[in-house]
Structure formats: structure tokens, C-alpha cells
Amino acid sequence: MTAPINPPDLDTALKTLWGASHLPFSAAVAKPYASHSLSQFSRQLEQLVAVRSCGLVYGPHGVGKTLLIQHFLALLPDKRFKTIFLAHSSVTGTDLLRLLCRELGRSARMRRGDNLMETRLSFCLELQPWSMEELQGYLQARLQEAGIHTALFEESALHLVLQAAHGLPRILNHLAQRALEQAAGQNCRLIASAHVQSALQLMPWLAKL
């Protein structure tokens, strides 16, 4: 028997306290939030792909790399591009080229010791942690998507949750969700600093970031 995703009391609280249609901070997002840095990053990526460049996209865990790339790939025309997903996370550059060749039905003629990957890379884009303003805009957008159009956080609680997120939307999602659950459990319409502090106690590793 599979347990429900949301406890029944939380489902009720979402509707009665805030009029929400669903959890505002769940992982399911249709498209990336159009922050200034992500929009600029996407334009750079479009230009590089247009000239058939090969490179890397990197950044800290939880900054939105996977979501951004998935959304970007979905916009590429199928007649011009072929998307290949490789789940291997610890291969050498040569091994990666071999895997790509195999997926494309090509034969790879190279030695394992060849340093071929670096010579083919022509760009390296870093996705930086978000600013406090971008995180706040993202949080507000998620609330509005869920049907919450009134203030949810007290000012001090909002500052605390944004600061504790360290510029990472994934952490913001988790922390805001835990704080919302704390407020719902006490039948509070506003999330206070005490609710965020309780949420932080459930995520002690954040203090080490």
C-alpha cells in the first residue's frame, strides 16, 4: 500500500488557511523561474548551441542545473538535434566520448589514455547561487502558482528562510515546505521565525554550508 504524498491534515490546512490548490514548494515545476541570471544564462547557452559548440555547464547542487537543461533541451527542434542522456557520473573524458559514439551508432577510435575531451570543449558556463532578490521572486512565484496571493511569511521569517537557503532554490523549497508544515500544524496563517527555526532543526546540515 502506497502512502499519500501529503498528509490529509496538511491538505486541509492548505485549503482552509491559505486557499492553496497544491503544495507551493513541491519538486514539480513546469519550467525554470525566469530570474535575471537564469535568463542570461539561457541566452548564452542558446548562442553556443547555435554555433555547435561543445562544453560544460556546472554549479553547486540544488542551483537548478538539471531543470534548466531539461527545459532548454525540450525547446530544441527534433529535426536538428538529438538528445542523449547518460547516467554515468564517474567516467573519464575518453569514456564519455566512447559512450556518445555508441549512442550515435559511430565507431570510436581512441586509446583510453588519450586526453581528447579537453581539446573538444569550447566553453564552460557556471550557474551561480541566486541573489536574495531572485530567491524572493522565486518564492513569490511558487506561492502564486499554488493560489496563495496573501502574505505567507512574517518579514523576519522571510529574511531568515532566504538567508538560510544560501542562494539555492532546492534548499529554499525544502526549508519553506518544512516551515509551512510547522505553521499548518499550529493552525497559523502566517509563518513566523519560530516555524523557520523549527524547520532548520529538521535540516541541521544547513548550518555547515
Q: Residue 190: which of 143, 137, 145 has the closest Cα?
A: 143
42 and 122 fall within a common domain: yes
Q: Count the domains in the chain.
A: 2
Question: Alpha-carbon torsion 162, 163, 168, 172, what sign?
Answer: negative
94 and 155 fall within a common domain: no
Distance, first Cα to last Cα, the chain:
37
158 and 172 fall within a common domain: yes
35, 63 contact by CB (below 8 A): no
| 80-90 mean pLDDT | 76
Buried b (16+ CB within 10 A) or exposed e, 129-146: bbeeebbbbbbbebbeeb
Q: Residue 20: which of 159, 197, 184 has the closest Cα?
A: 184
pLDDT above 90: residue 6: no
pLDDT above 50: residue 22: yes
Residue 16 lies in a domain: yes
Q: Comparing 74-78, 94-98, 109-113, which segment has the lowest mean pLDDT?
A: 109-113
Residue 4 lies in a domain: no
- Domain hosting residue 56, numbered range: 36-126
Q: Could you report the per-residue pLDDT of 129-167, keeping only the tens digit for each?
A: 999 999 999 999 999 999 999 999 999 999 999 999 999
Residue 70 lies in a domain: yes
Q: What is the pTM of this model?
A: 0.80
164 and 134 fall within a common domain: yes
